[in-house]
Structure 1
C-alpha cells in the first residue's frame, strides 16, 4: 500500500506540466504585446521627445524582462518539479537551464521582479514633469524597497542554510 501511495504521489508531479505549457502560451501573448509596443514605438518615434523615447525603450525592456522571467519559471520549474529535460543534441542549450535548483530559481525570480519594479519606478520618475501622482510614486518606491529587502533576506537565509549543510 505504501509503495502504491508513493508511486501515485510521484506520478502526480505531471499535473504541473499543463501549467508550464500554459506559461508558454502566455509567453506568446507577451510576444504579441511586445510586437504591438514595438510597432507603436517605431511608428511614433519621430514625434517623441527624449523622455518619450526613454519611456518607450523602458516599456520594451520591461516586457523583455517579464519574458525572461517566464522562461526561467518554465525551464527551472519543469526541471525541478516535473522531469529532467534532455539537453543532448542542442548545441546552443544555455548551461544554467539544467543547473538551477529551487533556491537559485527563487533568487532569479526575485532578481527579475526587482528589475521589473525598478523599471516601473524609473518610468514614474521619467513622468514627474507630466504630473505623476505623488501617492502612487510613494507606493512604487515602498514596493520596490520591499522587493529589494526581500531579495537581501532571501539571499541571506539561503547563505545561512548552505553554511548549515
Structure 2
C-alpha cells in the first residue's frame, strides 16, 4: 500500500510580507478617482453633443459655444456652421470617446493586473483584451490608444493648418511620430520577451 501524501500546506507569510502585499489596495482610490474622471468626460460629451444638435437647429447660444470651442487663437472665428466646423466638433467628440476608452483600459486592466482579480472569465460582457491582460499587454494597448488620441489632435491641427506656424505643425508631427516609434518599441520588446519565455518552456 502506498502512503497517501498529505497536500502541502500553503507557506505562511510574514507580517511584513502580508502588509506589503496589502499595500496594493492603496491604488483603489486612484482607480475610483479615474471613474469620477470618466463621469466628467461623459457629461462633457453630452454637453458638446447637445450644443452641436441645437446649433444645427439654429440655436444662437449653441452656435456661439460651438464657434468658441473650435476657434483657433490668431485665426478668424467661423461665422456659420459649415462642414469644417461640424468636422472639428465631431473630432472633439471622438477625442473624448478615445480618452474614455483609455480610462477604461487603465481602470479595468490596471485593477486586474496590479490590485485584485475580477474573476470575469464567465461573464458574457468580458472584454476580449481582458482575457489575456498583463503589464506588457496593457502598456501596448495604452500606447496604441495614445497614438489614436494624438492622431485626432494632429488632424484637428492640420484642418486649421493656415492658422498655425510651420514650426507648430512640425513639432506636433514629430511628437506624433515619437509616439509611433515608442509604441513599436514597446510592442517589439514585448514580442522578444514572449519569444524568450516560450523558448525557456521547451
CA distance in 2 between counterparts of 1:98 and 1:4 reads: 32
The alignment status of 1:159 with 2:185, answered yes or no, reads no
Q: Cα RMSD between the aligned structures?
A: 1.7
- Name the residue aligned to 2:22: 11
Contact 1:114 1:148 in 2 (8 A): yes
Larger % of helix: which?
1
- The structure with higher relative contact order (CA 8 Å, sep 6+) is 1
Query: Any runs of at least 4 consecutive aligned residues in structure 1 with deviations exceeding 3 A, and if so which?
Result: none
Structure 2 runs not aligned, ≥5 long: 1-12, 58-79, 198-202
Q: Tell me how many residue pairs correspond in the alignment.
A: 163
CA distance in 2 between counterparts of 1:83 and 1:49 reads: 49
Of 46, 50, 54, which residue of structure 2 is paired with 1:43?
54
> Looking at CA atoms only, which structure, 1 or 2, has the larger radius of gyration?
2
Contact 1:111 1:151 in 2 (8 A): yes
Aligned partner of residue 51 in structure 1, secondary structure: helix
**Aligned-residue offset at 1:4:** 1.4
TM-score normalised by the chain length of structure 1: 0.91
TM-score normalised by the chain length of structure 2: 0.75
Give the stretch that moved more between structures: 59-68 or 153-162: 153-162
CA distance in 2 between counterparts of 1:72 and 1:113 reads: 12
Contact 2:109 2:133 in 1 (8 A): yes
Structure 1 runs not aligned, ≥5 long: none
